[in-house]
Amino acid sequence: MKQMNINPARRAGFSLLETLVALVILAVGIVSILLIFPTVLDRQRINTLRTMTTTISQMQLNKMKAGDTDFNFHAWLEENRFRMLSANQPESQYIQSWMVSCQPMGEINQGLYRVTLGLRLWDNRVEYYTTYVTDR
């Protein structure tokens, strides 16, 4: 059997080509991760917007459903039929305006209403939230 005489100095370390290939693979991975960040930040902004608008709409609808003694359902409807938010209101960061529609339920008006609250967001999308309210 013939033994090969391999020079130990030739076997040590990486070649220049192997190093370049590893750097290219690393650069492609880093660039692809960096390209994801704007999308993630945009989705986070949209989710924050939706959370805030849902909270605002639930506060308004729950106020209506609670039917406090100092709360007049029909006066609230007239006041909020269409409402532009001013810049000093905290909700104005998320909402441009809101509108309320109210339809009596059933053939005979027995005090049950379907109330829909539509919120126009700052990106010009409109989201609708619906609840049922009695005026009694």
Tell me the per-residue pLDDT of 49-90, one tens digit each, with 9 for 90 and over.
Answer: 888 888 878 887 777 777 655 567 777 778 778 888 777 877
Q: Assess if residue 3 is contained within a domain.
A: no
Q: Assess if residue 60 is contained within a domain.
A: yes
**Which two structure tokens, joined as six digits, stand for 84?**
């532009």
Q: Quote the pTM value.
A: 0.57
Give the count of alpha carbons within 13 A of 78, CB side only. Answer: 5
Q: Assess if residue 17 is contained within a domain.
A: yes
Q: Average pLDDT, whole number, for the chain?
A: 80
Q: Assess if residue 6 is contained within a domain.
A: no
Q: Assess if residue 36 is contained within a domain.
A: yes
Number of domains the chain contains: 1
Q: Assess if residue 2 is contained within a domain.
A: no
CA distances from 58 to 16, 36, 76, 92 (A): 63, 33, 15, 16
Distance CA(7)–CA(26), nearest Å, equals 31
Segments forming the whole domain that contains residue 53: 12-134
Give me the residues paired with residue 106 across strands: none
Question: What's the confidence (pLDDT) of residue 100?
Answer: 86
Question: What's the confidence (pLDDT) of residue 21?
Answer: 92
Q: Assess if residue 1 is contained within a domain.
A: no
Under a CB-based contact definition with an 8 Å cutoff, are residues 121 and 53 in contact? yes
Q: Assess if residue 7 is contained within a domain.
A: no
Distance CA(21)–CA(18), nearest Å, equals 5
